[in-house]
Homo-oligomer: A and B are copies of this chain.
Amino acid sequence: MPFELSSHLSAQATRVETVLDHLLDENRTEGEIERPQRLLKAMRHAVLGGGKRLRPVLMMETAALFGRTDDGVVVAGAALECIHCYSLVHDDLPAMDDDDLRRGQPTVHKAFDEATAILAGDALLTLAFDVIGDERVHRDAGKRLALSRELSRASGIGGMAGGQMLDLESEHRTRSEPEIRTLQAMKTGALLRYACRAGAVLGDAPDADVDRLTRFGEVIGLAFQLADDLLDVEADPAAMGKATGKDAAAGKATLVGLMGAENTRQELDRLLSEANDLLVPYAERAGILIALARFIVQRKN
């Protein structure tokens, strides 16, 4: 990735982190609201421990296609990141994927304890629905409400949480390729799709463009998961900052396992090409989104 692009993306990620840091500021009080320090620290551990901020940055770059680059979009991105981080905290729990490391650091239940991790996840999930309604997100309360409800649907039983349920069940049953695709569209696809769709809504894009960017988000979501599966098979744990080869060890079928690595790479190429085609109408304004799509396909960690 060219240095200029890489610094732009890192500056965008920093904008997201600044909002998250402020939301979870240990010295800030909101009126008379008490915020238990242990819970706040666990939430900060979950949210401020690094990460690419891919979902908020996708949202911000999509909104930028339509001229919105102000902090309101960053606030919406922070809400989405709260959802993503809550899901990591709960997925890492002993009763779920039982992971001790995340981005090379102890997971929340390791750094604190299980009860605190459950509550930190709950509180982050809950917080997201306050943050997405912030006045800065969009001047129209109706649009903010629509974004809030769509965030709920992307995250709930018909989206991310439902996908995680299907994924857990995969340890006990054989899945067909279409079933795995549905599972992944829910578990990881729904939030990436939302990121791009919400970005277009935030930018007051016409309906046809909202649909186009929604499809872009779906393509990116599928590519992300395929690239992730390839990494799980091929990468080493040190580069990933977490355990690898877990899917195979858990007896879970993956698309890479069913299709083979070579076919997976070909599908990734096709998806990257579809992603590029979808962005043609935005010409050079879409340069960063195209680079992001390429990064998702080719990433090494």
Contacts and interface: CB of A to CB of B under 8 A. Distances in A.
Contacts of A162: 34-36, 39, 123
B169 A155 contact: no
A36 B157 contact: yes
Nearest to A117: B95
Contacts of A152: 126-130, 133
A118 B145 contact: no
Interface in A106-125: 113-116, 118-119, 121-123, 125
A88 interface: no
A8 interface: no
A265 B182 CA distance: 56
Interface residues of A, number: 52
A126 B39 contact: no
Contacts of A148: 129, 133, 145, 148
A93 to B, nearest CB: 7
A137 to B, nearest CB: 10
A96 to B, nearest CB: 5
Given A144-B145, A145-B133, A169-B36, A164 B93 contact: no
Contacts of A40: 157
A149 B127 CA distance: 9
A168 interface: yes
Contacts of A153: 33, 130
Contacts of A90: 118-119, 122
A256 interface: no
A156 interface: yes
A155 B122 CA distance: 9
Interface in A216-248: none
Contacts of A34: 158, 162, 182, 186
Copies in the complex: 2
A123 B38 contact: no
A270 to B, nearest CB: 23
A95 B123 contact: no
Contact of A133 (B43, B149, B166): B149
B38 A126 contact: no
Contacts of A30: 158
A281 interface: no
Contacts of A157: 35-36, 39-40, 43, 123, 126-127
A169 B95 contact: no
Contacts of A96: 115, 118
B35 A158 contact: yes
Given A39-B161, A118-B118, A123-B162, 12 more contacts: A34-B186, A35-B162, A36-B169, A115-B168, A122-B125, A123-B161, A126-B156, A129-B129, A129-B149, A129-B152, A145-B148, A148-B148
